Homo-oligomer: A and B are copies of this chain.
Amino acid sequence: MLKPLGARVLVQRLEAEEKSAGGIILPEAAQEAPREGKVVAVGPGELDENGKPMGVSVKKGDIVIYASYGGTEVKIDGEEYLIINEDDILAVRE
């Protein structure tokens, strides 16, 4: 598996049927539309001024809404994932 560095997060995009359960629908067609996904792994976060990582604001298993631009796609054991910056995560499903 992959361990993200810095404030990066590894997410797996949710399929349509999974998303319908939560009642949250995102406009799929739009180019810059947000996406819904599950957090698979998180980085240690940015460093504070003493050089200690500050953590990130999501945790493994969270269902998140993230901006669809800027992430980097990787395929692990046949599954597609996305490495995104914490800043690109807009909200967490409660």
Contact = CB atoms under 8 A, between A and B. Distances in A.
B74 A2 contact: no
A57 B43 CA distance: 11
A40 to B, nearest CB: 11
Contacts of A48: 49-51
Number of copies of this chain that the complex holds: 7
A5 B83 contact: no
Contacts of A3: 91-94
A28 to B, nearest CB: 11
12 contacts: A2-B92, A5-B58, A5-B89, A5-B90, A8-B90, A10-B91, A24-B77, A26-B74, A26-B75, A27-B73, A34-B74, A83-B90
